[in-house]
Amino acid sequence: MIRIIAGGKKNAGAELEIISEYAKRLRKPYEIVWEFYEEEKLEKKLAEWPFEKARELVICCDERGENISSDEYSKKLERAFSENKEVVILIGGAYGFSDLVREKADFVWSFSKLVFPHKLARIIVAEQTYRAQEIAHGGKYHHE
- Looking at residue 140, what is its pLDDT? 83
In Å, what is the CA distance from 48 to each residue of 28, 43, 54, 81, 108? 29, 9, 17, 25, 19
The class (CATH top level) of 2-136 is alpha beta
**Which amino acid is residue 31, in one-letter code?**
E
pTM of the model: 0.93
CA within 13 Å, CB half, 96: 15
pLDDT tens for each residue of 61-83: 998 899 999 999 999 999 999 99
Average pLDDT over the chain reads 91
CA dist 133 and 34 (Å) reads 18
Ranges of each domain in the chain: 2-136
* Cα–chain center distance at 119: 12
